[in-house]
Amino acid sequence: MKVIREWKTMLIPYEQAVEELKVKLKAIRNQYRELNEYSPIEFVTGRVKKISSIIEKAERRNIPLDNIEEEMEDIAGLRIMCQFIDDIYEVVNLLYDRSGKDFTVLYEKDYIKNPKESGYKSYHVIIKYPVQTALGTKEILVELQIRTLAMNFWAIIEHSLSYKYKSKIPEDIRERLRNSALAATRLDEEMTEISKEVRNAQLMFEEKSNTVRDI
Ligand code: 0O2
């Protein structure tokens, strides 16, 4: 059984990984903005799982505490929020393009095409990230959750209700949450349609002004 001090020591490289990845992902967003280009990344957050949550999950998933670093992939987690569903896939491609450089993509879970029973939607990418420590390089697992603002809104509310009801949300509320997940999906789809219309209108406007200039 680990004592608190041992847990804290174990978690140091995880905190470092979260901080470094936040800087790297925010830098990608800023590069787009400096080039005056649309950024598929809206904002990034990150956290290291609380010790109590690690122990609770290890018990629930039957993971021996000695194996958690190999078997629990979300001790370090980052969330990448996007405006539109298409942006999520652009971010995923971006991660694959960088794979083998700063980090290595191990696998993914597409809860957008296959939502969870709760209604949860998000795209999870698990990476292996090398952290430079005083004792040498340590490779740790990091979970990147990529989602739209609407998916994030839903997940935050559902998560806090889950916490309040200690994961036993009453069936009527679960049903309403599933319905609100569908409403969030409709909102995302509608926003995508609107953005396409705006882009088409912009293209038509640019073509028109080019024709006027050519005359
Ligand atoms: P946190 O730190 O409180 O967010 P499991 O955790 O066993 O259900 P698994 O297979 O270990 O799932 O990993 P998975 O499916 O990738 O889920 C891990 C994380 O995804 C969760 O972390 C949540 O952040 C998010 N997630 C998954 N399902 C749901 C859901 O139904 N609702 C919400 N709001 N979030 C979900 P944790 O462990 O909850 O920790």
Q: Is the model's pLDDT at 215 over the cut of 70?
A: no
Domain count for the chain: 1
Domain assignment present for 206 = no
pTM, rounded to two decimals: 0.90
178 lines ligand 1 (CB under 6 A): no
Domain assignment present for 205 = no
pLDDT score for 2: 74
Domain assignment present for 138 = yes
What is the extent of the structural domain holding 63?
Answer: 4-200
Domain assignment present for 214 = no
155 lines ligand 1 (CB under 6 A): yes
Give the Cβ contact number of residue 180 at 10 Å.
16
Residue 201 C-beta-side C-alpha neighbours within 13 Å: 6
50: domain CATH number? 3.30.460.10
49-97 tens-digit pLDDT: 999 999 999 999 999 988 999 999 999 999 999 999 999 999 999 999 9
The percentage of the chain sitting over the pLDDT mark of 70, rounded to a whole number, equals: 94
State the Cα–Cα distance between residues 181 and 20, nearest whole angstrom.
Answer: 32
Using alpha carbons, list the distances in angstroms from residue 77 to 32, 124, 125, 140. Answer: 23, 10, 10, 11
pLDDT score for 134: 86
109-132 tens-digit pLDDT: 999 999 999 999 999 999 999 999
The two tokens of residue 94 are 């971006």
Catalytic-residue membership of 139 = no
CA of 88 to the centre of ligand 1 (A): 18
Q: Which residue, 84, 91, 38, 112, is CA-closest to 193?
A: 84
pLDDT score for 173: 92
Domain assignment present for 211 = no
Domain assignment present for 212 = no
The percentage of the chain sitting over the pLDDT mark of 90, rounded to a whole number, equals: 75
57 lines ligand 1 (CB under 6 A): yes
Q: Give ipTM to 2 decimals.
A: 0.91
Task: Please compute the mean of the pLDDT values over residues 137-158 and round it to a whole number.
Answer: 97
Q: ∠ CA 170-47-103 to the nearest 5 degrees?
A: 120
CA of 126 to the centre of ligand 1 (A): 13
Selecting among 143, 175, 197, 206, the annotated active-site residue is: 143
CA of 55 to the centre of ligand 1 (A): 14
* 129 touches 143 (CB < 8 A): no
Find the distance separating the first CA and the last CA of the chain, reported in whole Å: 80
> Which SS3 state, helix, strand or coil, does residue 24 take?
helix
